[in-house]
Each structure stands twice: as structure tokens, then as C-alpha cells.
Structure 1
Amino acid sequence: MQEFKIDPIIYKTKPSKIKRSQQEMDIYDLLEQLNIAYLRLDHDETPSIEFCHEVEKLLDIEICKNLFLCNSPKTHFYLLVMPGRKKFKTKDLSAQINSSRLSFAAAEDMETYLHTKPGSASVLGLVNDKSKTVQLLIDKDVLQSEYFGCHPCVNTSSLKIRTSDLLTKFLPYTGHEPIWVELPAFQDHTQRP
């Protein structure tokens, strides 16, 4: 695994605009507008969930996977939010949402609807989906944690926010109603009791 640098300082406020995208700064401004408190940690780019383990330790959270999916004709788009520890298999989700042949959506579609790039998908990107094209799917296990971990639409910072704030403040603001799904926990069959 490549070297991963992390700033161990945990911030309660937004960063200065220096070297920050307008997209990221807009997220912080919106969280302040909605009175959503957060803790922020800055770090190198996280190309996958495996790079988030140190972030999780410092923020005392589990970073959620945010997977941008679509059906094969690309007529339905989904943002799946699930615990980072779970493995994703399309067959576990397809039947629950009556959509066969799910796959990862193209980077161009992610940019169009969420205004983010692969590796930076975040439930916070739904603020950019003004047409409500993307259906939010949330694994019920996300509700088990008091706090929710995600990126502010860039994968060089991570946020810790209350799960209740996500559900009662942020999602009502964007107008996205989640569909609750149940994905099985990964079981390692190589270990014996």
C-alpha cells in the first residue's frame, strides 16, 4: 500500500479557501447554514476505503462507502451508502430495489449528477442533484452508529457528523427520500472457530 499522509489535527470549522475547491467550500457553508456540527480531518487523497482506517481511528467513526450505481440502460441512478466494512455484491441489492443488472455508473454521470469524481462520492453530493435523478439507498446498519463519516465531496478531507443530522436536516434540505436496504455482513469463511 502506498504511503498515506494525514494531518492529525481535528478541526471543528471549515478550512481557509486556499487550495480548496468551491465545491468543498460550498459543502461547509451548507453544513453551517443547516446548523450541522462536524469534525474535519485533512489527509492525502483516499483512492479506496482501505486508506480510511487511520482516519476512522482518529475521528472514532466508520467511514461509509458511497457507491454510485446505475441500471444497464442507464435510466436509473443510485447512491448506495453502506458501512465501509461490508462487501458490496450487486445481487444482494438488485432484488431489494427491483433493478437487475446494476453496475457502477460512469464517471461522467457522477460528475453530472453529484458534481464529484470517482473516489469522492458522498451523500453530501446529493445537494447538487437538483432534479432528484439519483435515488438514495441506505443500508439499515448505518443507523446503528450515532455518527456518520463521509467526504465533503472531495477525498482529501473526512467529516464526522451526527447520523440524526444527516437524516433530519441534510436530506430534508436536498429533498432526497432514502430507500432503506439490508445488505449482508461479509463473512470470512477461511477462518475456523
Structure 2
Amino acid sequence: MFISEISKEAPSKFNSEIQEATYNVLHKLDIPFERIETNEVVTMNQCQIVNERLQMDMVKTLFLCNRKRTAFYLVVMLGNKPFNTKLFSDSLNISRVSFAPEDMLMHFLGVKVGAASIFGLLNPNSEDVHVVLHRDVTLLPNYGCSDGTTTNYLKIGTHHIIEDYLAFLKRKVTIVEF
């Protein structure tokens, strides 16, 4: 599997609007990052090589919806933690959720399956998406995630994600344990 050396610069060519918006906002907010490029990576198991190169642990980002598809949730949790829909739903006092369909992932976050990340919130259609962080993620020194593609991965100080990026977006964030 191809994995690049670590870079502290944006890619020279962008593969999507979300990817370009990601680096634009990181630059605007003066948030430092480390980036690697890979062959396509879409599973948490495949992320192990990313974790090793960047010396951190990728977070798991899920895009969920209720049965009626009227409420949407961007859920960020530890990569090695299994997702339990009952515990998650109970922690927010909401009805059970499931994975949102691929077309809704593209509509709301502007990404394809395997590329969901906190940077999908840059998509104008994401305005009504609820942002939910597992408490354990807030305790990580570094936040590892996709840049909105399945071929570029970032390592950013978690405090920059919470205190700078999410604050810049003026997004309400719910922090839960489940």
C-alpha cells in the first residue's frame, strides 16, 4: 500500500470541494497539521497504517439518521470503539438511529462513503446536522481524520478542532458517553 511521507502543506491538487474547503479553513484559522496521502482507505482496519505513520489514532466518524430521515447526526468516537446504537440513542434521549444512505452523506457532508469527517461540516447543506463527540475524543492529544477524501489523512491537535474549528463554525456540539 502506498503511503506518503508526512507533509505540513495542503495537496497541490484538490479532489473535492470539501477537501479544498478543509485546507482553506485550516490556513485561515492558522491551524497546524500533518498530512499523509495514501491509496484509498475506507475502513478502520486500513487506517492502522495511517496511525503508524502519523503516530496517532484515527477517530471514527459516523453519519447517522433517524428512521424518518428527518434528524441527522455526525458522530465522532474513538476508532477502536464499537458503535452501539442503543447506547448512543439513549445517551441523547432520541429514537434509534441507523447509518444514513450514501446519497444523504453526499448531500449533507459533500463526501462519499469512507470520507466522512468533521470537515464535512464545511458543506453548506450540513447546517442541520447535529454534531456529537464521544467524551473520550475530547481527551485525545491529537485528532486524526480524513480531509474529506479517502486518500488524505490529517493529524491535528484536538484542542484546535474543538476550540478553533468548531467555534469558527459556530456549531453546537454535544459531548456524550455511550
- Alignment TM class, shorter chain as reference: over 0.9
Deviation at 1:23, TM superposition (A): 2.9
Correspondence list, 1:82-93, <5 A? 82-93=77-88
1:45 CA drift (Å):
0.9
Q: Could you say which residue in structure 1 is the equivalent of 2:55?
A: 60
2:11 aligns with 15
Matched, 1:27 2:22: yes
Q: TM-score, normalised by structure 2?
A: 0.95
Name which one, 1 or 2, has greater alpha-carbon Rg.
1
Unaligned runs of 5+ in 2: none
- 1:69 pairs with 48, 64, 72, which one? 64
Distance in 2 of aligned mates of 1:30 and 1:101? 34
- Kindly report the root-mean-square deviation, in angstroms, between the aligned alpha carbons of the 2 structures: 1.3
Cα distance in 2 for partners of 1:141, 1:118 equals: 24
For the residue of structure 2 that corresponds to 1:111, the secondary structure is helix
Change (3 A) 1:131 1:115: closer
How many residue pairs get matched? 178
**Alignment match, 2:112:** 117
**TM-score, structure 1 normalization:** 0.88
Change (3 A) 1:39 1:105: same
Q: CA deviation at 1:130?
A: 5.2
Is 1:140 matched with 2:145? no
1:132 is displaced (CA, Å) by 2.0
Matched-pair identity in %? 35
Output one character per residue of 1:67-106: Cα deviation in whole Å (capped at 9) or x when no partner. 0000101110000000001000101101111222210001
Residue 124 of structure 2 corresponds to residue 126 of structure 1:
no
